[in-house]
Amino acid sequence: MKIKKVGVVGCGFMGGGIVQVCATSGYDVVTTDITDEAVTRGINVIKERLAKKVAKKQMTQQEMDAALGRIKGSSDINVYKDCDLVIECVFEDMELKKRLFADLDKICEPKTYFGTNTSCLPVVDMAMATSRPEKVVGIHFFTPPPLMPCVEIMQSIVTSKETLDMAVEFGKSVDKTVIVAKDTPGFIVNAQMIPNVLNAVRMFENGIASAEDIDMGAVKGLSHPIGPIALADFFGLDVLYAISTHMYEETKDPMVKPPLILKRMVKAGMLGRKSGKGFYDYTK
């Protein structure tokens, strides 16, 4: 089945980015959030991002208007009824995601595929909350979706080949490089990145080097575009803690056990850029 209409559950930073990517790629998109105000706020952010692209002559005003014309927002989950594909982009809470998929399963037509933007949770658990587990697949965009060139497709043990093929073609259609992984903790990217970032955090925790020097070593010594400590602050220490905790619970691999300092910082509200303070101070 050719995908024409896409639903994105959540219109915050990640969800709004996915909405933008889909709309600028020619898809009709519907999106929801907790309130109408949250949806309006998310769509306004998309307008601002596209306006900047027009100002930089990266797209025309006509292309911007056409993309925005393809987006419809609501706080009513029933708008997903006739979508061909619905991608959830809610908080990384398994029970929340399972309840959402169970609700979508009752609302959406039998044709509808379900995608999850999870970065670490088992796709199969969400799939089994529906009556169509073979139609559930991981579609993991990276932060921020309009800029990052990759999308990670995760095939659970019950995902059908038809669904996997759909997800791969969808990823290519929104101009992303597609990589495919089995439904394992961390999939491809986080399975590589999380141990590296946690190792850097442990180096800082043990007083081996400053955050600045650890990051400088990665940037200047390993040619990384950003150091691991700065990267942790960028995507959020609460997110890092949640992902690493889940991966450790699944695997018991000491390389992904979250360091104590990370737990303490999250409890103190030091979440990185989003809170103004993390390993670095962003309030200055």
Q: Is residue 284 part of a domain?
A: no
Same domain as 231, residue 173: no
Same domain as 168, residue 228: no
96 pLDDT tier (thresholds 50, 70, 90) = very high
* C-alpha separations of 116 from 15, 179, 230 in Å: 11, 15, 27
Q: Are strands 136-141 and 113-116 parallel, antiparallel or unpaired?
A: parallel
Q: Is residue 53 part of a domain?
A: yes
Same domain as 213, residue 176: no
For range 113-134, the mean pLDDT: 97
Is the full-model pTM beyond 0.85? yes
pLDDT tens column, 248-281 = 999 999 999 999 999 999 999 999 999 999 999 9
Q: Can you give the pLDDT at residue 1?
A: 76
What angle, rounded to 10 degrees, do the helices at 189-205 and 237-251 form?
110
Of 182, 213, 242, the last residue of a domain is: 182
Q: CB–CB of 200/228 below 8 Å?
A: yes
Task: Round to whole Å and give the CA distance between 156 and 134.
Answer: 9
User: What residues act catalytically?
Assistant: 119, 140, 152, 190
Tokens standing for 81? Answer: 């009824």
- 20 class by beta-carbon count within 10 Å (0-12 exposed, 13-18 middle, 19+ buried): buried
- For 76, phi and psi rounded to 5 degrees? -100, 115
Task: Round to whole Å and give the CA distance between 28 and 37.
Answer: 21
Q: Can you give the pLDDT at residue 199?
A: 98
Same domain as 177, residue 203: no
Same domain as 138, residue 117: yes
Count up the domains in the chain and report the number: 2
Mean pLDDT of the chain: 96
| Ordered alpha helix ranges (H), the chain | 13-24, 36-55, 61-69, 94-107, 123-127, 161-173, 189-205, 211-216, 222, 228-235, 237-251, 260-267
Per-residue 3-state assignment (H helix, E strand, C coil) for 80-97: HCCCCEEEECCCCCHHHH
Same domain as 175, residue 137: yes
For range 100-108, the mean pLDDT: 98
Domain of residue 143, residue span: 5-182
For range 185-191, the mean pLDDT: 96
Same domain as 22, residue 122: yes
pLDDT tens column, 137-154 = 999 999 899 999 999 999
Q: CB–CB of 101/88 below 8 Å?
A: yes
Residues 6 or more apart in contact with residue 106 via CB below 8 angstroms: none
Q: Is residue 273 part of a domain?
A: no
Same domain as 176, residue 243: no
- 41 class by beta-carbon count within 10 Å (0-12 exposed, 13-18 middle, 19+ buried): middle
pLDDT tens column, 202-237 = 999 999 999 999 999 999 999 999 999 999 999 899
pLDDT tens column, 33-54 = 999 999 999 999 999 999 999 9
Q: Can you give the pLDDT at residue 284?
A: 80
Q: Are strands 5-9 and 85-88 parallel, antiparallel or unpaired?
A: parallel
CATH code of residue 43: 3.40.50.720
- For 230, phi and psi rounded to 5 degrees? -65, -35
